[in-house]
Structure 1
């Protein structure tokens, strides 16, 4: 082994410093010294349930990607649980070299935290194999030093429902509406777009009528006869549960009358939720207006929130989304928090959550900065719609955005490698990114 390579092995740097500065250079020198075709070191990210390429050699600009080692695959599980090196013969697996075989070695630090994989012609000599095993052990030791005492931010200990509970505290007449829920069996919820009307309806249903079915109706048949038949079927389907109508401001006079008649004459024993804006711009039947006023709740826009409460909601949403995206180690920079708390949100929670989620998905460090929040710069439906939402197109677009943004972070925006990991061509990736406002 050359003296320079040996000196890197004996470097005085440790932990994360060693992982960042010594490992990439040392890996290239080892692969060159051992005459390996190519090789990669994959390790677990700090406080995340995700893995990234820490060092690589010989893959050119295409980068490393082995389809048979997709996370969760049989071969991934075999490699991440094996106490011995695992062979991947070139005659059985799609490798980068034409006449190479691959060898994978698990990296262990109390748990499996990654692996190193090399391609070479023939089989490795005993000395090469021994040094690769020692190198994997060295990586595990230094990874453990860098990740053993990382403090968990205090805000990650907030209850999962904290952002919703903080918001509910701002609704002045919510308590009265809940008290009258069982006697009047109806709640009308009014508010600006994206403020959480449907979320509040589901929360009231789950707390006041747990275990009962709930059906959310997003659109109505234009034909009156079909609407009459549909609402009768919806009532039977929900039985003693809840029937939720969104966008009631779009009801025609005929649809308003059908709903009023059904509510008064059908004998429906369940609960009714009517969701709409604070102001209606079209004609409303007196009977329908009376129904809307029976037990109503008005939700304040985010622009009306006291600044300290808005900051608490932002931090709560940030931590909730970090948990769902397995990025618990992230911190929201003070400048990013200020940017979020001073912005005007036309679509309220929908816009706020999407902006925060965009920053979490694209952030490449442990701190979400203002620049991370600007990705896309246009309205982005990042979150998967509710299970009751039947808009298939919107659900597919939201899922595609999440996956592409995740690939952007993992592969540092390299479109060739992103396309390989996503299982599509580079042209298809570029087309989708343009469609989704990501480039």
Structure 2
């Protein structure tokens, strides 16, 4: 989206047509998914509609299934109807990443991801529904399973999500007569020996101690072996039953890249030069989580074979350089290298709680608690695309200062037509008694 905006902004009238193909008609600002799951931000304010932001572009809702580089043609599969071919002169690959999963028994059936706004909404409704179940049942096993929440992955996504959801459950429990925070069990599992590695060991240790102080059980250097029917088995021997298994154990490039005939790196990313141009081509560029881009700032600092990490900080900045380079490539001008030094990292761990590491030259400023939480909200609030969405997000936060958190579960959103179907379906035929059958004959 940012690359298309940049190209449209710098392009002369009638110079080219910009076409954006995406299976969803909006872009999701993923750093806000945990807050959307906790109800701190309205879900619609976390997404940006493409047709509104790119009024001069052609936006197609569908998927690019194959790319013929010899003919310069992409095959587009729309939401409905037959696939068709779309010719191009220049191509930008920005498919992003998907959840990195492993062949764990039961994960596909029981797991909940955190890569899209739909998953964040689903997680919020699901958690509140578990509180409804626990409050209404007299079966202790059902109650215990409903109030046990397992999160796998201790990076930004996992730590932020469990922090926000624990806050949500703690607030919601005040309105239930038979559910207290002490009845709930929150478990965070990670195969690494620390959480929040992006902010460094000291802040990561603080984050771990803070979550543990709120009653979260954290198991490091372990993994999940299975979760069939919600029976979670960890490698360290712990076994629990849970209706809620949230998977945030990393990301991987979109597997669709393997069908495009592009040069890929060892982990499946598109192999790019420092100019964001795909190796071996002069008309294809890539950026974001699906691109393997040399980290020129780290390499100049002496780090060999450094690559840009898959995060929003790099993706947004790469998009602007990519847009400039596409225009330069169209006009035959020299392209510039992408270089960006890490500015730090911020993470929210629930309301008024967070960690932040700010890099200023060779100095690193480390913050924790409420001040870090303000840094987290301020940074991401300003990074949110478009002023329309910025204002809406800040308005949500401002209202939350004076109004209590919404704790309504809209679980029926998963199947909104079910009740109508039950009312509208034809009544089953009733068999006539034998005597009536004989009389009728």
TM-score using structure 2 length: 0.28
Higher helix share: 1
TM-score using structure 1 length: 0.28
Larger radius of gyration: 1
Higher strand share: 2
Q: Which has the higher contact order (CA 8 A, sep 6+)?
A: 2
